[in-house]
Chain A
Amino acid sequence: MPFPDRVVWVPSPLTGALAAPIAAGLNTGHRNRRVLESVYRAVDDSAGRGVGDAVRAAVGAATDGSVHDPVHGAAATALHTSVTAVIGAATGSATPRREPLTGVLDVVFEATDAAVRAAVDAAVGGPLQDTLRGHIRTLWQAHLPGRRHTAWLRLVDQCWPDGPPPEEDPPSTRDGWWWWPFRHFVMLCPPPAELHLEPDPRMLRRPHRADGPAVVWADGFGLHYWHGVHVPRAVIDDAWSTEEILREPNAEVRRCAIERRGWDRFVADAGLAQIGPPADDPGNPGQTLTLHDVPSGIFTNHVRVLLCTNGTVERDGTRRRFGLTVPANCDDPITAAAWTYGLTPAQYATAQRRT
């Protein structure tokens, strides 16, 4: 089996997950323009015109001038099938080197898989079904994880045992992210164009961004992270109602949504019961501390939250209000504030200054 002669770069994993099955479908002789156009429109509607245009371009590049006959086309997925076995063998034996950034990319890789699945579902998972939508639903996952040099070389051997290797270098560890090998073409996706990280004591670095996607590809497809936790876009956009936050089944995502909103707003919106009277914050003249109950089911465990005010004013002249979660056995704001520094309430009360 010769190596595919069309090598197509796609700007994001989502574009590849949509374009590769469509191109494979067209290569199997699918000629219904009406269905093709309706799939493109569904992609535009759910993923945005940027991804839609990228899918059209990638499909064009992978199919332009190719042989549209069912006999050749029937083998469209054969390569993928045999390659999957090669990759399985290669990844089973090879231990990938784990560098700090590789660790982050591994985490992002898994989340990308889930995000692409959800986006593909949103585009073609509805009740309306046809041949192309069927292809996308079954073949979106026909990608192979990139960043595995040895796997690529074994694939080349398998494809072209008696011939020369392809003139282009295989995707290197840095270039390859996902790729979709088919009979007539192979689609390749580069790693994310942007990766926003923050220091993390346990992982060294983790994805985080408060004002947009932390992981972004060239066509705008991206993943949202709050301090290392993969969250829906609505969490970062602070677009959920209090009810929607409380209905979120994943406790970790719920916590992120609350932190993104800010505990002071959430405590008020959710009407969390106040524990004890407000207390003057020692060393922070004019500011008070309040303690509120956070029943189990909101933060997984039963905890309480201490609302504090910064000792220093912000650029705009206001003082930042923030919440700190404390054990549920803290019964008044001073005890709670003291706990956050490992002090006794009597020690905390002696504070002379807070900035």
Chain B
Amino acid sequence: MPTVEEAIAAFGVTVDPHLDRQADIPILSGLQFQGDVAVIPAERTPSRTPVPAGGVAVVRGEAGANTHLLLATGTVCYTPDAFGTVLGVLTVEEGATAYLAHPEHAFSGIGPGTYELRRQREQGDRETRLVAD
């Protein structure tokens, strides 16, 4: 289980200075949330598109800030599936780990398995709308 400091060094992606550098990043295979993004274990056709070294922005924030960035050690695949609140399908191969990085939320560690990434929504006046954190 790496620390925040180790993840920053490994990926060259930093997080807000007040967040604890020594905190462990749990690697989980169950349901977890990073702000307005949910990582949901799902029975989906596994993704076959490898995540590049620089990562994939699964939600892009304003002016590059507050982006949820998907990073990988080992073989991690992601296929965007922008349909409603579903962002895409994530597959983490055996022996690999995926991380979601966000400046305000630090890192979420994701173990082997296939997941759906979803965006949070809320009820608007006439329609549902996506939540931006």
Binding site for B on A (CB under 8 A): 198-199, 201, 251-252, 255, 283, 299-301, 303, 310-315, 324-327, 340-343, 347-348, 350-355
Contact = CB atoms under 8 A, between A and B. Distances in A.
B45 interface: no
B43 interface: no
Contacts of B105: 311-312, 355
A334 to B, nearest CB: 13
A313 B33 contact: no
A350 B30 contact: yes
B32 A283 contact: yes
Contact of B19 (A303, A312, A352): A312
B35 to A, nearest CB: 7
A303 B125 CA distance: 9
B108 interface: yes
B108 A353 contact: yes
Contacts of B35: 310-312, 355
A19 B84 CA distance: 51
Nearest to B100: A355
B26 A353 contact: yes
Contacts of B18: 313-315
Contact of A312 (B31, B106, B121): B106
Most chain B CB within a 10 A radius of its CB, from A313, A341, A352: A341
Contacts of A255: 125
Tell me if A's interface is mostly helix, strand, loop or mixed. Answer: mixed
B122 A324 contact: yes
B124 interface: yes
B123 A354 contact: no
B28 A353 contact: yes
Contact of A341 (B62, B108, B118): B118
A347 B126 CA distance: 27
B33 A311 contact: yes
B79 interface: no
Contacts of A303: 123
Nearest to B17: A315
Nearest to B37: A341
B114 to A, nearest CB: 16
Interface in B78-112: 84-85, 102, 104-106, 108
B31 A350 contact: yes
Nearest to B128: A327
The 10 lowest CB-CB distance pairs between A and B, nearest first, are A355-B105, A352-B30, A354-B33, A341-B38, A353-B32, A324-B122, A325-B123, A300-B125, A351-B31, A315-B18
Contacts of B124: 325
A352 B108 CA distance: 11
Given A341-B40, A347-B40, A283 B31 contact: yes
A279 B126 CA distance: 28
Contacts of A314: 18
A199 B16 CA distance: 22
Interface in B20-73: 26, 28, 30-35, 38, 40, 62
A71 B83 CA distance: 69
Most chain A CB within a 10 A radius of its CB, from B31, B38, B121: B31
A348 B30 CA distance: 11
Given A324-B131, A326-B123, A355-B108, A315 B31 contact: no
Contacts of B84: 342
A342 B119 CA distance: 9
B125 A299 contact: yes
B32 A343 contact: no
B85 A341 contact: yes
Given A312-B19, A343-B38, A354 B121 contact: no
A247 to B, nearest CB: 18
Given A350-B30, A352-B31, A340 B108 contact: no
